[in-house]
Amino acid sequence: MSARFSEKQMSQLNGPYSAIARDSNEGLRVHFGNEPRDSEAADIEDNDLFESSTQLTDAMEVADSDTLYYGISLGNRRRMHKGRGFWVTVGLLVLVSVVGMFWLYYDGINWMQRSKKRNVILMISDGFGPASETMARNFFQQTNNLSIGYQSPLDEILVGSSRTRSSDSLVTDSAAGATAFSCRLKTYNGAISVTDDKTPCGTVLEAAKLQRGMATGLVATSRITHATPGAFSAHTLSRNMEDLIAEYQIGNYSLGPVVDLMFGGGRCHFMPNTQPESSCRMDDRDLWADAKAAGFRTLSSRKEFDSLDTSDAKLLPVLGIMAPSHMDYEIDRDPKEQPSLAEMADKALKILDTSTKKKNAGFFLMIEGSRIDMAAHTNDPAAHLRDIIAYWDAIAVVRKFVDEHPDTVMISVSDHETGGFSVAKQLTPAYPDYLWKPEVLKPVRHSIEYILAQLLGQPSGDSQETRYRFVRDTVFPDWMGVRDASHEEITSVAMETDSVRLRQLLSTAISDRAQIGWATHGHSAVDVNLYAYGKDAHVLRGNHENTDIGQFIIDSLGLDLDAVTNQIKGERVVQQSTPIKEAWLGRRDVDAAEHYPLIH
């Protein structure tokens, strides 16, 4: 049969047809659906059915001839066409997947990191070593009658440890330690975000602001111009160049203002030396006025701090400097005068969160428990302890924020250990008892720094007897909680006028009674604990170089520090005026009154 059926005819052949209802009352009638037909209609339908059968036979013959012509049946050819389409689709999907994988590997991760909102909070517990965490935990557990299994807010998020050496020493200082975090490189002790060849290196804070449009902040209990906050916001050959660091922080360089929020101490480095009662600058630059002119909202009191509206999305930039030099130790802090580290952290988080809520970019915030380190330099166990617990409070605040913002990661790490601290001390040549006494630290009410200022600030005309009674009746029992001081101890403290020797006498009086030890007034080379919580915190498990912390931040945010380094390579790194040179490491920054006698 040469004729072929049209598409319409073939579709009709494949259509449904009626069945013969043999058991119906209508006899052998053909039914279409459920509708009965009369006999004449049935005859006509029978003829149509016969003709349809004939057409079906012809169609089968056509199919047979097609099989002979193509070598494959019509049905199989249709199935092949369908199969070919399926495999073409699969091939395209595989090709797209392969191309996508290459893009993801080479550029996609950075693209996703740049497009996805992230918050990074780096908390630095300056001078805080593993033994200090043990001491604070033991004290808190025992004095609060907690279970032996008590864990501090840090214990619960311990992930590893960090090595601390600098490029020129196994024992780092804070400047080189912070530069390892901020620039992801090792440099020499004393360097503020400059390389070994003394050229500026781009920081994670600068890159976060410039490349991702993130909000940025610094919170510290030291001067905001001090080594750690300085290493994220400035570039100087020496940490002592705090006048220049202050200039960087208000945007007096090629990048302009890159720090949106600053809370801490150190107002004296922003005030001109024409105001000697409030300045420690070596020139007459009024950076406080310059900051206001640059758009900063400035504040210098607890009242102003409390009045900040954290719901104001246009509040930034803010410069909150609430002490002339360092903020007070937690043990000395008057809550009516200065906020705690936890309060500053909480306020900073709320302000930065509000300012970025409607943006695709999050924020980078560095929070430093600065004075943990300074207490250890003085070998002051009680002040060291209280600032550690205050740091725990700040950790709890930040952890709560992370819980509420799953796009956030918090890292907590120390730049180094200070004091060579040990939770044990041998007092006699005899074999020592295995114990230390946390209860000795509980009644201590003031830091050695505070006591020192009171002793050295007494009128020079006071008699030896007056000084003796002051030490016997006030210093030892009321301020230090020591009620068994010997005549020799009281006399030594009352008669001493050198600040270094006087600090040592006060330290020994408390440390020996608690049976805790110190190996140095400086830093040590011990590895420090590494803590992390939130997004991708597991990446930091294990032992790391301190530069790995900087790399983690870079990877988390998709930053390019080399690009920033190229932008700032010509920046000034030397302060024009002669910087204040501090004394030996044990006296670093613990004698604000000695360095700046007119500041109160």
Active-site positions? 174
CA dist 397 and 37 (Å) reads 86
CA dist 460 and 462 (Å) reads 6
Q: Tell me the DSSP string of 109-150.
A: HHHHHHHS--EEEEEE-TB--HHHHHHHHHHHHHHTT--TT-
Catalogue the E-assigned strands of 280-348. 297-299, 318-321
Query: What are the residues facing 262 on neighbouring strands?
Result: 218, 319
CA dist 450 and 453 (Å) reads 5
Q: From residue 49, give the alpha-carbon distance in Å to each of 1, 44, 88, 129, 423.
A: 21, 9, 42, 97, 104
Query: What are the residues facing 20 on neighbouring strands?
Result: 30
Tell which residue, 472, 468, 403, 478, has the closest CA to residue 446.
478
Q: What is the CA radius of gyration of the chain?
A: 39
| Single-letter amino acid code for the residue at 337 | E
Phi/psi at 273 (nearest 5 deg)? Answer: -75, 0
CA dist 328 and 383 (Å) reads 10
- Beta-carbon contacts of 259 under 8 Å, excluding residues fewer than 6 positions away, are 205, 216, 217, 218, 232, 233, 249, 251, 317
Q: Which two tokens stand for residue 583?
A: 């004394």
Q: Quick one: how far is CA 194 from the chain centroid?
A: 22
Q: From residue 340, give the alpha-carbon distance in Å to each of 35, 174, 343, 387.
A: 90, 22, 5, 10
Please, are residues 211 and 348 in contact by the beta-carbon 8 Å criterion?
Answer: no
CA dist 62 and 57 (Å) reads 9
Residue 134 backbone zone (phi > 0: left; psi -120 to 50: alpha; other: beta): alpha
Pairing relationship of beta strands 215-223 and 119-124 according to DSSP bridges: unpaired
Residue linked to tokens 């922003």? 270
Please, are residues 228 and 187 in contact by the beta-carbon 8 Å criterion?
Answer: no
Torsion of CA 228, 321, 214, 558, to 10 degrees: 0
- Beta-carbon contacts of 590 under 8 Å, excluding residues fewer than 6 positions away, are 374, 377, 378, 449, 503
Q: Is the bond into 317 cis (omega within 30 degrees of 0)? A: yes
Q: Quick one: how far is CA 513 from the chain centroid?
A: 38
